């Protein structure tokens, strides 16, 4: 189906006249522009300008642009309270509503304008599901803040709160972090989830060069949006569709760059979910295989002291791809939304700053920034941002301190009940158990702020913000709510973590494990009404991307 279904019918043309469209506009392809603009997400307040530029580009190239919305939650604003249950779950709402709007109005092609966290993967899922020509242009990253001459970002602000509570900084210094941490609009300035996914959109081939790195406040972002508007008309003419671009090889390229960049662990939720919409089952077992041969080349905040603006100046994502491909690790013959192949896109894209993008001969580590762990604590899998873990914590053994929700863990950390060597376990926060798989930025920031980042690990069936650093291990699958072994851990059990060996276990005899399982009873759902209840009934585990299963007939 294309727009002829609505533009060639007299009654429907009458409705287009009511919109103010001319006959000439109705003769052109209808291009849907899906805008995530709202007034509550700092990364989205500039999207009206980006959308206007896209509209101009579409019109310049002979299309008729029509805008409709997608919702978005700011993870930072939702953090640490009931609102975080509504973050991940919006991914499916975004995909579903975009599908509905697009097919109901018979659009010929789409330009997606997302920026923060869930609306990037949600719109990628929609693009795959709809499979009509589509290109992405994000709102761009925030510039870094500055305190005492040092660049900072949102994670520094979060950690400053705990530093103040621990008496390490003054109230005035905390106020300075608050006032200077987020100085412009845009997605938060480190390699957090939004920037991770915007960068990986480039790697997947669905965004033009600079989509992930050109700062939100740069005029180049507006130019990029105009080019995206023009490019969609070329993709429509050539009938290049998302599933022609997002192939198995493209997802393997994305996992490779994920390892090189040290992206947020949330990418390990979103990539399988996007792949699923493409009809591809992305088994995370291949993540470790890719990681073992992919060097980690970037230490962007919160892992290091460089920021997305620095990555942009160093040559951006194409420069990282070109650097990685010196080892022959990318599939370069794949089609992209530029109308050219990966190899053609990255040819001649030089690394302009080896301090920001390490050469492959001198990486931060010879293995990738993310690791997937397995063991009796997580029989299916769990995920850690290895590049953000202190060297001494890559192998750790300690007693479990078990909490059944984030709030209880926060009380224990802030009251000094967590000591060096402990392993905090936060459970019943998974996709079903939360429900909604809350991010645990507040506990990890509190651990850092109390000076325990190099001696305490945190394990959860929930997930972590891209702003998290430290031995933070999430997405434990199966989760506690479905009787995963994480539900059977008791205070004092010894937990063994070996990140380099991809192993995570707790010491327990087979007899004791059987006894505990026999005594375990499912918890009553925390929420029994509304969207979250429906979500909990359908959602799968973290290792499957927390996708929604269609009930079997």
Catalytic residues: 465
- Written as one string, the DSSP assignment of 116-159 is STTHHHHHHHHHHHH-S-EEE----BPPPEEETTEEE-HHHHHH
Find all residues with CB under 8 Å of 167, minimum gap 6, and list them.
Answer: none
CA distance 507 to 183: 47
Find all residues with CB under 8 Å of 464, minimum gap 6, and list them.
Answer: 264, 265, 266, 385, 439, 440, 441, 444, 472, 474
Block residue for tokens 């291990």: 473
CA distance 80 to 528: 21
> In 374-508, which residue ranges form alpha helices assigned H by DSSP?
406-414, 441-449
Q: Are 108 and 233 in contact, with CB atoms under 8 Å apart?
A: no
Q: Are 70 and 35 in contact, with CB atoms under 8 Å apart?
A: yes
Phi, psi of 371 (to 5 degrees): -130, 145
Q: Are 205 and 170 in contact, with CB atoms under 8 Å apart?
A: no
CA distance 233 to 30: 10
Block residue for tokens 């001969």: 361
Block residue for tokens 């719109």: 123
Q: Are 254 and 362 in contact, with CB atoms under 8 Å apart?
A: no
Q: Which two tokens stand for residue 440?
A: 């645990």
CA distance 203 to 319: 11
Write out the H or E segment, with its range, that includes residue 354. none
CA distances from 526 to 82, 436, 443 (A): 11, 11, 21
Find all residues with CB under 8 Å of 486, minimum gap 6, and list them.
Answer: 377, 378, 425, 427, 459, 461, 476, 478, 479, 480
The sign of the CA dihedral 322, 324, 327, 330 is negative
User: 439 has which bridge partners?
Assistant: 463
CA distance 245 to 542: 25
End-to-end CA distance of the chain: 28
What is the separation of C-alpha 310 from the centre of its chain, rounded to a whole number of angstroms? 20
């Amino acid at each position: 189906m294309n727009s002829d279904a609505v533009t060639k019918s007299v009654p429907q043309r009458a409705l287009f006249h009511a919109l103010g469209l001319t006959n000439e506009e109705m003769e052109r392809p209808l291009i849907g522009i899906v805008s995530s603009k709202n007034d509550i997400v700092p990364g989205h307040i500039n999207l009206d300008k980006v959308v206007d530029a896209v509209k101009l580009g579409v019109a310049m190239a002979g299309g008729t642009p029509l805008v409709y919305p997608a919702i978005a939650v700011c993870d930072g604003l939702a953090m640490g309270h009931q609102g975080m249950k509504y973050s991940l779950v919006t991914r499916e709402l975004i995909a579903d509503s975009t599908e509905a709007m697009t097919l109901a109005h018979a659009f010929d092609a789409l330009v997606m304008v997302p920026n923060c966290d869930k609306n990037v993967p949600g719109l990628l899922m929609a693009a795959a599901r709809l499979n009509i020509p589509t290109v992405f242009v994000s709102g761009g990253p925030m510039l870094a803040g500055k305190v005492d001459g040092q660049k900072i970002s949102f994670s520094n602000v979060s950690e400053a709160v705990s530093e103040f509570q621990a008496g390490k900084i003054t109230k005035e210094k905390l106020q300075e972090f608050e006032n200077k941490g987020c100085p412009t609009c845009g997605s938060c300035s480190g390699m957090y989830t939004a920037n991770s996914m915007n960068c990986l959109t480039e790697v997947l081939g669905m965004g033009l060069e600079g989509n992930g790195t050109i700062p939100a406040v740069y005029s180049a972002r507006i130019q990029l949006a105009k080019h995206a508007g023009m490019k969609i008309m070329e993709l429509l003419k050539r009938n290049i569709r998302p599933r022609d671009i997002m192939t198995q090889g493209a997802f393997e390229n994305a996992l490779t760059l994920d390892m090189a960049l040290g992206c947020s662990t949330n990418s390990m939720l979103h990539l399988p979910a996007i792949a699923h919409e493409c009809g591809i089952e992305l088994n995370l077992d291949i993540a470790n295989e890719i990681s073992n041969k992919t060097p980690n080349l970037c230490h962007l905040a919160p892992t290091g002291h460089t920021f997305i603006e620095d990555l942009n100046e160093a040559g951006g994502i194409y420069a990282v791809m070109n650097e990685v491909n010196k080892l022959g690790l990318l599939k370069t013959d794949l089609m992209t939304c530029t109308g050219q192949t990966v190899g053609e896109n990255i040819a001649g894209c030089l690394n302009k700053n080896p301090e920001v993008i390490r050469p492959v001969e001198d990486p931060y580590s010879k293995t990738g920034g993310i690791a997937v762990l397995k063991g009796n604590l997580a029989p299916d899998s769990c995920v850690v941002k290895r590049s953000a873990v202190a060297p001494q914590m890559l192998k750790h053994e300690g007693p479990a301190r078990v909490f059944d929700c984030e709030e209880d863990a926060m009380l224990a950390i802030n009251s000094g009940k967590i000591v060096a060597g402990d392993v905090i376990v936060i459970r019943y926060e998974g996709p079903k158990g939360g429900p909604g798989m809350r991010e645990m930025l507040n506990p990890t920031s509190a651990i850092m702020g109390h000076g325990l980042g190099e001696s305490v690990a945190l394990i959860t069936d929930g997930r972590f913000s891209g702003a998290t650093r430290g031995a933070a291990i999430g997405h434990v699958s199966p989760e506690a709510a479905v009787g995963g072994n994480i539900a059977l851990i008791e205070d004092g059990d010894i937990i063994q973590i070996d990140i380099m060996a991809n192993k995570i276990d707790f010491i327990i005899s087979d007899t004791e494990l059987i006894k505990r399982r026999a005594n375990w009873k499912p918890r009553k759902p925390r929420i029994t009404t509304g969207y979250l209840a429906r979500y909990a009934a359908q959602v799968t585990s973290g290792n499957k991307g927390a996708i929604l299963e269609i009930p079997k007939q």
